[in-house]
Amino acid sequence: MKVLGIDIGGTGIKGAPVDVATGRLTAPRYRLLTPRPAKPKPVAEVVAEVAAHFCWRGPLGITLPSVVKDGVVMTAANIDRSWIGTDARALFAETAGLRATVLNDADAAGIAEMTFGAGKGRRGVVVLLTLGTGIGSAVFLDGKLLPNTEIGHLEVKGKDAEERASDRARREKKWKWKEWSKHVEDYLEHVEALLWPDLFIIGGGVSKKHEKFLPRIRTRTPVVPAKTLNEAGIVGAALAARAEVPRRKR
C-alpha cells in the first residue's frame, strides 16, 4: 500500500509516496519552499501543489512542528503563530481537497524510527529527540507513542532547552562540537532524570554528523543516531495515515 507523506518545516515542504510495508519512497522526494510568513492558508496551498505533483488522491499524512490534537494545532514554537487554534485537517480539506492525518513532526519521525530504524523491535521507554531548528520529541513505551510530549522545551539551567541543545543554537552561537555536546549532554541528563529511558535516539539533520558529538556524550542511557534521517517525517506521516485507513480499504 502506498501513502503520501508530507513534512512541513520552517524552510521546506517536502513529500513523497511511501510504500508503508518497507518504508521506502516510491518516487523521488518533491520539495517546495515554505511560504513566508508561513501562515496556514499559503502553507496549505503549497501542500496542495506537492500532492498535485504526484497526482495524489489516496491516503495522506502531514506533519507540522506543533502540538496537534485531533487535527487542531495547539502550539507554534517555530512557525507562524496564526496556526494556533487552526483546524489543520479542515484547512487541508478546504484548500486542497485532501483528507489528511495531521501530526507532530517529531512524533512522525519517531514512528518511522520505531518501525524501520534504530528503535525497531525495542521495548521499554524509548525517547527520540530531533535536534534541528527546534527540539522535537517522541516518547514510546513498548513501541506505543505517547503523542505531543514537547520535552524539547524543558527548562535546563534556567533556559528553554532549545536555546542551547538545538542544532540552530550550535550554528547561531558558532559553538564547537565539544562545547555543544556538553549542552546536549546536560539536556539528556535532564530528560533521564524525568523519564529514565532505556534508549535515546537522536534525529534531525545533525544526526548525520553523529560521530562529531555522540561519542562525547556520557549518559547512563545508551544514545544512538536515527537511521531514517531526512525522510523520517515523510515516512512517519505516511505510517500514521495508514494507521487511520479503515482495515477494509487496505
Where on the chain is the footprint of ligand BGC (CB under 6 A)? 65-67, 75, 77-78, 104-106, 130, 132, 134, 136, 150, 152, 162
Q: Rounded to whole angstroms, how far apart are CA atoms 3 and 26?
A: 10
- For ligand BGC, the closer of residues 53 and 153 by Cβ is 153
Q: At what angle do helices 232-244 and 105-116 cross, to 10 degrees?
A: 90
Q: How far is the CB of 11 from ligand BGC (least distance, A)?
A: 12
- For ligand BGC, the closer of residues 23 and 110 by Cβ is 110
- For ligand BGC, the closer of residues 65 and 119 by Cβ is 65
- For ligand BGC, the closer of residues 205 and 222 by Cβ is 205
Query: Residue with CB nearest ligand BGC?
Result: 134
Q: How far is the CB of 90 from ligand BGC (least distance, A)?
A: 20
**Cβ distance 33 to 74 under 8 Å?**
no
Q: How far is the CB of 32 from ligand BGC (least distance, A)?
A: 18
Collapse the DSSP code of 181 into the 3-class scheme (helix H, G, I; strand E, B; otherwise coil) and give the result.
helix
Q: How far is the CB of 79 from ligand BGC (least distance, A)?
A: 9
**Cβ distance 36 to 46 under 8 Å?**
no
- Give residues with Cβ within 8 angstroms of 107, minimum separation 6: 63, 136, 138, 145, 147, 148, 236, 240
Q: How far is the CB of 238 from ligand BGC (least distance, A)?
A: 18
Mark residue 142 as left, alpha or beta (left: phi above 0; alpha: psi -120 to 50; beta: remaining). Answer: left
- For ligand BGC, the closer of residues 54 and 108 by Cβ is 108
